[in-house]
Amino acid sequence: MSGHEKEVVKSHGLETLGIARKAPTHWNPPAPALYEHAVRRGEGLIAHLGPFVVDTGRHTGRSPGDKFTVKEPGSRDRIWWGEHNHPISEESFDRVWDRLRAYLADKELFVQDCYGGADPRFRLPVRVVTQYAWHSLFIRDLLIREHDEDVLREFLPEFTIVDAPEFQADPATDGTRSGTFILINLARKLVLIGGTRYAGEIKKSVFSILNYLLPLRGVLGMHCSANYGADRDDAALFFGLSGTGKTTLSTSPDRTLIGDDEHGWSEDGVFNFEGGCYAKAIRIREETEPEIYDTTRRFGTLLENVVIDPDTRRLDLDSAELTENTRAAYPITHIPHADPAGVAGHPRHIFFLTYDAFGVLPPIARLTADQAMFHFLAGYTSKVAGTETGVNEPQVVFSPCFGGPFLPLHPRVYAKLLGEKIHRHEVRCWLVNTGNTGGPYGVGRRIAMPITRSLVHAALAGELNEIATEPDEAFRLGRLTSCPGLAPDVLDPRASWPDPEAYDRKAAELAARFAENHDRFQA
């Protein structure tokens, strides 16, 4: 324990988990103490101006193939088993847990007691036990903190996450795919993570749990960012997978940020699941993303896999030497135009963001409610290089609800809730392509962020509501024929290609993929 760290005696300690202690346990240490522990343990470097920089090793993104849910009587009939929810037996879970508890007995541990969910009626008390000090800093940045020492002393978690990066599973006896594992036991209210230093697994485990619990109470869990304009009744949602621009587009100096990645939508409005942000940092520019850029120069920010000069401690945000998926984790209070309360009214606008590697979708399109449901269930995008282990260049995918890996329940559950809310609150819906134009990936160019921002701004201001559209039946959208301040050919992807016939072939190819996915999903 550092000299300035205050020890809080816990009423509900690790003995409730059966973890014997032969080494120190640090309870809810603040960021400065975690810096000291992490430096003492050689876990990373303090960069110029104060962020803490770490290397996550061979896992520079999530490992979805190593995530398992325990198949137990209380939840097995609700879980959407298949591609994203792999079953594991209770016996296998117990074998891993028994060995992991013995392993942790003589390891220094760091504990953070915090919440998932800004709305007190739906928040989830979560205890995160980590082997690394920097993992404790990460989750302290990302989840919602409890500052009252009396509450912390009596804190009783509803779920506990135990994270031990240096512990490996044995696939031959444990039923895992490899030594890496993310095991969710909804009956025991326990998550075990091992074999990976990538901290994003911790936060996405909380998201998955909330996505199981909240729909059973009529609350929609959403993989989206959110902000509001003049007041909390002028909210907007931005759905999309990692790398599509959720954080960038929701972080705007003329609007107030609610959160950048995970939200709930109740009968009263939307609320953030988190208390921090987890932004991509690769090639970030002060000129185009000043608020996010500034967080990379702040104490308390955690930078994953950003290249740093060990002598000068200067950062190279342009370098992808370790991965394209460099990340900045920081408390939401690092963003000047953010609302720490994390709540707002019902959204007026919903934007579905896609990185279209084919380069055939328009920069923005207006959607009817039925078209919005089609695109929500399709969840078309391209996985951006580095967001998952083994993804080295964009791959076209369909991820239901723009978050398939984080949906414990069938996508129809979430789609039904979203559809009801869109109709009830008369929400305007848009499809925004933040990917390619002028050709496919490797040939065309990525749509410039200033153009995307101007289109989103025009939509939020109501400037696109009455503009005529040309229907596109293949992709189920309405392509805008004009937009204030932009040339018409910017809105027409076919006009941006040097060879219109090549566009037609590529558009037909993607349209066939949409149809195939729709048929498979319907079946």
Read off φ and ψ for residue 372, nearest 5 degrees. Answer: -60, -40
Q: Residue 366's domain is classified under what CATH number?
A: 3.90.228.20
106 within some domain: yes
**Catalytic one among 223, 428, 479, 506?**
223
Domain end (from 130, 164, 197): 197
Banded pLDDT at 390 (limits 50, 70, 90): low
Q: What's the mean pLDDT in 163-171? A: 98
143 within some domain: yes
**Catalytic one among 261, 339, 356, 492?**
261
- Domains in the chain: how many in total? 3
**Catalytic one among 136, 247, 399, 437?**
247
418 within some domain: yes
**Catalytic one among 69, 196, 242, 389?**
242
- Residue 268 annotated as catalytic: no
Are residues 359 and 316 part of one domain?
no
Are residues 287 and 163 part of one domain?
no
Are residues 347 and 227 part of one domain?
yes
Are residues 344 and 327 part of one domain?
no
Q: Residue 110's domain is classified under what CATH number?
A: 3.40.449.10
Provide the total of helices (H) and of strands (E) in the chain, helices listed first.
Answer: 14, 31
Model pLDDT, residue 208: 98
DSSP string of 263-303, one letter each residue: EEE-SS-EEES-SEEEEE-TT--TTT-HHHHHHTTSTT-EE
Q: What is the distance, to the nearest Å, from the Cα of residue 126 to the centroid of all Cα atoms in its chain?
A: 18
Are residues 412 and 305 part of one domain?
no
- Residue 223 annotated as catalytic: yes
Is the model's pLDDT at 415 over the cut of 70?
Answer: yes
Are residues 327 and 347 part of one domain?
no
Boundaries of domain holding 433: 220-275+340-522
Model pLDDT, residue 288: 87
Domain end (from 311, 334, 357): 334
51 within some domain: no
- Residue 261 annotated as catalytic: yes
- Residue 327 annotated as catalytic: yes
Cβ atoms within 10 Å of 466's Cβ, excluding its own? 6
Banded pLDDT at 163 (limits 50, 70, 90): very high
- Residue 62 annotated as catalytic: yes
- Residue 246 annotated as catalytic: yes
Read off the pLDDT of residues 27-77 as tens digits, 9 standing for 90 and up.
999 999 999 999 999 999 999 999 999 999 999 999 999 999 999 999 999
**Catalytic one among 204, 346, 348, 476?**
204
On whether the CB atoms of residues 254 and 396 are closer than 8 A, the answer is no
Model pLDDT, residue 2: 45
Is the model's pLDDT at 4 over the cut of 80?
Answer: no
Model pLDDT, residue 387: 53
208 within some domain: no
Are residues 459 and 415 part of one domain?
yes
Query: Strand, coil or helix: what is 515?
Result: helix
155 within some domain: yes
Are residues 226 and 189 part of one domain?
no
Q: What is the distance, to the nearest Å, from the Cα of residue 219 to the centroid of all Cα atoms in its chain?
A: 18
Are residues 269 and 190 part of one domain?
no
**Which amino acid makes up residue 13?**
G
**Catalytic one among 59, 203, 246, 506?**
246
Handedness of CA 122, 127, 128, 133 (dihedral sign): positive
**Which amino acid makes up residue 330?**
Y
Are residues 319 and 344 part of one domain?
no
Q: What's the mean pLDDT in 158-167? A: 98
Separation of alpha carbons 356 and 155, rounded Å: 45
Is the model's pLDDT at 3 over the cut of 90?
Answer: no
Q: Residue 310's domain is classified under what CATH number?
A: 2.170.8.10
229 within some domain: yes
Is the model's pLDDT at 10 over the cut of 80?
Answer: no
* Pairing assessment for the beta strands 262-265 and 220-228 based on DSSP bridges: antiparallel
* Pairing assessment for the beta strands 52-54 and 302-304 based on DSSP bridges: parallel
On whether the CB atoms of residues 17 and 101 are closer than 8 A, the answer is yes
Contacts of 409 (CB under 8 A, 6+ apart): 78, 79, 80, 211, 212, 215
Read off the pLDDT of residues 277-321 as tens digits, 9 standing for 90 and up.
999 999 999 998 999 999 999 999 999 999 999 999 999 999 999
Are residues 287 and 396 part of one domain?
no
**Catalytic one among 197, 263, 327, 348?**
327
Judged on CB neighbours under 10 Å (0-12, 13-18, 19+), 77 is: exposed
Read off the pLDDT of residues 425-458 as tens digits, 9 standing for 90 and up.
999 999 999 999 999 888 889 999 999 999 999 9
Contacts of 320 (CB under 8 A, 6+ apart): 282, 326, 386
114 within some domain: yes
**Catalytic one among 26, 37, 62, 86?**
62
Read off the pLDDT of residues 101-142 as tens digits, 9 standing for 90 and up.
999 999 999 999 999 999 999 999 999 999 999 999 999 999
Are residues 263 and 185 part of one domain?
no
Read off the pLDDT of residues 12-33 as tens digits, 9 standing for 90 and up.
789 889 999 999 999 999 999 9
- Which residue in 262, 158, 134 sits closest to 208, CA to CA? 262
